[in-house]
Structure 1
């Protein structure tokens, strides 16, 4: 098994397991953090589908924007929901700690395995790009190309994403608002 296959299966397993935990968990705060893992793993899978722009957009828009807004809205909305997080077991080894240890050690093992393999030999697709001269270098004008694509070919998806972000901001403001109890 080469590094590409290992990373693909690691991202796929992380996405599937986190999504299964996400739909079965009752704690909203933990569900939001599991959603972060699912979205991050999906961005990794988009890279394997050669959809670099979609992966970057996934991380910037969903993970970096919408999910952070949801977390802040959750933290500001209800103190009773946060009390559930603080009433967990005070022991070091409990079920949520085992899950986090397993996830963090799997992520560390993936990073170490990738570093060791790539330090010995570059993957085939990078070597092929070097031979063909198709590597993106710092002198390429990718920002200008992306700007033209955003305002011509991708104007509709760009506007849909902006409307989605506006709806998320309105939802976050609505959730964080204190309601009067009359």
Structure 2
């Protein structure tokens, strides 16, 4: 099946958010924010909509992969080098969209965000793979792999960073040249383990 990739625009936000919400429905990091499954699945479309619209789409690094019918099969949320940190003004503007998604889980989300930010390397500058997800029906067909490899091979040298949220995915990212630099636990709920991974080429 032919795979087409392109930069995501604001018009892609609803569809891209739906793809990510489906992909992260049972993700350990998202479960740490929203332990209740029903609450989590209701919140994720709103959360990803706000995140894409306010933080990531404007930075120009989000890419989508589509198949023959031109529907979005996978989404890679990349923040360009030097642009992964969010300023206060942007956060304030995003709050009206974020708070309805977070509701009573806002404190947990802030705690997790601080933990991730404290672990995030500042130098050297790098591409940050914030999220990557594929629809259930499109998994195993190479959509996510295309979005990763094209980013890692578009320029030389390339440096990239991600936080792997599931132990089964560590070996998946190893295939692309990412290596684990440390593991750490989130300070909420069942304290799920995360793996910080870097790519240097």
TM range (shorter): under 0.3
Greater strand fraction, Structure 1 or Structure 2: 2
If you compute each CA radius of gyration, which structure gives the higher value, 1 or 2? Answer: 1
Greater helix fraction, Structure 1 or Structure 2: 1
Scaled by the length of structure 2, the TM-score of the pair is: 0.26
Scaled by the length of structure 1, the TM-score of the pair is: 0.28
